[in-house]
Amino acid sequence: MKDKIINGLRFAGLGFMEPLVRLINGEEPKKNSINLVKRVVIPVFSIFLFIMIWHGGATYLYNVEADAKIEKALNDQGEEAAKEMEACIASGDVSCKPNALPSPLEVFGAYKKLMKDHAEISVKKDEFKQKVAKTNEQRVAKGQKPITYTGRPSFVDQIGTSLKTVLAGFVLALLIAVPIGIIIGLSDVLRNSFNWLIQIFKPVSPVVWLLLVFMIVKTLITDPDLDKSFIISFISVGLCAMWATLVNTSVGVSSVDKDFINVSKVLRLGVGKNIFKVVLPASFPMIFTGLRITVSVAWMVLIAIELLAQSPGLGSFVWEEFQNGSSESNAKIIVAMFVIGIIGFMLDRIMIMVQKVVSFEKTEIA
Amino acid sequence: MEVIEQESFIKEFIKPKLPQELLSRPDMLSCNNLRKVYPTPKGDYVVLDDLQLSVKQGEFISIIGHSGCGKSTLLTMIAGLNEISGGKITVDGNTVREAGPDRAVVFQSPSLLPWLSALGNVMLGVKQVFPHATKKQRLDICKYYLDKVGLGNDFNKRATELSQGMQQRVGIARAFALKPKVLLLDEPFGMLDSLTRGELQDVLLEVWNKEQITAVMITHDVDESIFLADRVIMMTSGPYAKIGDELVIPFERPRNRRDVLEHPEYYDYRGYLMNFLNH
Sequence-separated (6 or more) residues with CB below 8 Å from residue A252: A181, A185, A282, A283, A284, A285, A286, A287, A290
pTM: 0.80
The neighbour count for residue B81, using CB atoms within 10 Å, is 20
Question: Letter for the amino acid at A230?
Answer: F
Contact at CB, A263 and B128, closer than 8 angstroms = no
CB of A46 within 8 Å of a chain B CB? The answer is no
Same-domain pairing of A26 and A113: no
Query: Shortest CA distance to B267 belongs to which of B213, B226, B224?
Result: B226
The closest alpha carbon to B70, from B93, B51, B42, belongs to B51
Which is higher by pLDDT, A360 or B260?
B260
Q: Give the minimum alpha-carbon distance from A331 to chain B in angstroms, rounded to a whole number.
A: 50
Q: What is the CATH number of the domain that holds A181?
A: 1.10.3720.10
Binary contact (A266, B105; C-beta < 8 A):
yes
**How do residues A35-62 score in pLDDT, each as one tens digit?**
888 888 888 899 999 999 999 999 999 8
Q: Do A262 and B98 touch (CB under 8 A)?
A: no
Q: Tell me the shortest Cα–Cα distance from B105 to chain A, in angstroms.
A: 7
Do A288 and A173 fall into the same domain? yes
Q: Smallest Cα–Cα separation from A292: which of A284, A302, A303? A: A284
From chain B, the residues in CB contact with A265 under 8 A are 80-81, 98-99
Q: In a mutagenesis test of the B interface, which of A256, A258, A264, A266 is the best target, namely the one with the most B β-carbons within 10 Å?
A: A266
Q: Which residues pair with B62 in a beta bridge?
A: B217, B232
pLDDT tens sequence across A281-317 = 999 889 999 999 999 999 988 888 888 877 788 888 8
Q: Is B100 in contact with A360 (Cβ distance < 8 A)?
A: no
Q: Does A358 touch chain B (CB under 8 A)?
A: no
So what's the pLDDT on residue B78?
93
The answer for A160, left when phi > 0, alpha when psi is -120 to 50, beta otherwise, is alpha
Q: What is the pLDDT of residue B173?
A: 92
A363: in domain: no
Residue A15 lies in a domain: yes
Q: Is the Cβ of A263 closer than 8 Å to some Cβ of chain B?
A: yes
A278 contacts in B (CB within 8 Å)? 113
Cα A330 to Cα A100: distance, rounded to the nearest angstrom: 8
Q: Which of B109, B111, B128 lies at the smallest CB-CB distance from A269?
A: B128
The sign of the CA dihedral A244, A247, A249, A251 is negative
**Which residue range forms the structural domain that includes residue A29?**
2-93
| A148 three-class SS | coil
Q: What is the pLDDT of residue B171?
A: 92
- Indicate if A59 and A158 belong to the same structural domain: no
Contact A265 B115 (CB under 8 A): no
Angle, vertex CA A293, rays to CA A292 and CA A299, nearest 5: 95
| A268 interface with B at CB cutoff 8 Å | yes
Burial label for B254, CB within 10 Å (0-12, 13-18, 19+), is exposed
- Tell me if B101 and A267 make a contact (CB, 8 A cut-off): yes
Same domain assignment for residues A23 and A145 = no
How many domains are there within chain A? Answer: 3
Q: Do residues A241 and A291 lie in contact, with contact meaning Cβ atoms separated by under 8 Å?
A: no
Is residue A70 classed as helix, strand or coil in its secondary structure? helix
Give the residue extent of every domain in chain B: 2-277
For CA atoms A322, A326, A330, A333, give the dihedral sign. negative
Same domain, A72 and A122: no
Q: A266: which chain B residues are within 8 Å (Cβ-Cβ)? A: 79-81, 99-101, 103-105
DSSP H/E element including A333: helix A327-358
As a three-state string, the secondary structure of chain B is CHHHHHHHHHHHCCCCCCCHHHHCCCEEEEEEEEEEEEEECCEEEEEEEEEEEEEECCCEEEEECCCCCCHHHHHHHHHCCCCCCEEEEEECCEECCCCCCCEEEECCCCCCCCCCEHHHHHHHHHHHHCCCCCHHHHHHHHHHHHHHCCCCCCCCCEHHHCCHHHHHHHHHHHHHHCCCCEEEEECCCCCCCHHHHHHHHHHHHHHHHHHCCEEEEECCCHHHHHHHCCEEEEECCCCCECEEEEEECCCCCCCCHHHHHHCCCHHHHHHHHHHHHCC
Give B158's contacts in chain A (Cβ within 8 Å). 360
The chain B residues in contact with chain A (CB within 8 A) are: 79-81, 98-101, 103-105, 107, 109, 111, 113-115, 124-125, 128, 158, 160, 178
The pLDDT profile of chain B, 279 residues, written as one tens digit per residue, is 444 445 545 556 778 888 888 888 899 999 999 999 989 898 888 888 888 999 999 999 999 988 888 888 999 999 999 999 989 999 998 999 989 899 999 998 888 998 899 999 999 999 999 989 899 999 999 999 999 888 888 888 888 888 888 999 999 999 999 999 999 999 998 888 888 888 899 989 988 988 889 999 999 889 999 999 999 999 988 788 888 888 998 888 888 888 888 888 888 899 899 988 887
Eight-state DSSP code of residue A364: -
Within a domain: residue A70? yes
Distance separating alpha carbons of residues B240 and B103, to the nearest angstrom: 26
Let me know whether A340 and A206 are in one domain: yes
Nearest alpha carbon to residue B167 among B157, B182, B176: B157
Partnered with residue B38 across adjacent β-strands are B45
The pLDDT of residue B7 is: 52
Give A262 to chain B, closest Cα distance, Å.
7
Report if residue A279 sits inside a domain.
Answer: yes
**Among candidates A260, A266, A268 on the partner chain, residue whose Cβ is nearest the Cβ of B113:** A260
Any domain includes A171: yes
Instruction: Kindly state whether residue A364 falls inside one of the protein's structural domains.
Output: no
A205 and A290 inside one domain = yes
Determine, for residues B80 and A265 on separate chains, whether the beta-carbon distance falls below 8 Å: yes
* Chain-centre distance for alpha carbon A122: 23
Burial class (CB in 10 A: 0-12, 13-18, 19+), A273: middle
ipTM score assigned to the predicted complex: 0.86
3-state helix, strand, coil in chain A (%, to 5): 85, 0, 15
For residue A69, give the amino acid letter. Answer: K
Residue A118 lies in a domain: yes
* Binary contact (B99, A277; C-beta < 8 A): no
Q: What is the pLDDT of residue B9?
A: 52
The whole-angstrom separation of Cα A357 and Cα A288 is: 11
Q: Give the domain-ending residue among A132, A152, A172.
A: A152
| Nearest residue on chain B to A278, alpha-carbon basis | B113
Q: Give the pLDDT of residue B56.
A: 92
CATH class of B2-277: alpha beta
* Same domain membership, residue A130 and residue A241: no
CB pairs under 8 A between A and B: 53
Pick among A258, A260, A267 to test the B interface (most B CBs inside 10 A): A267
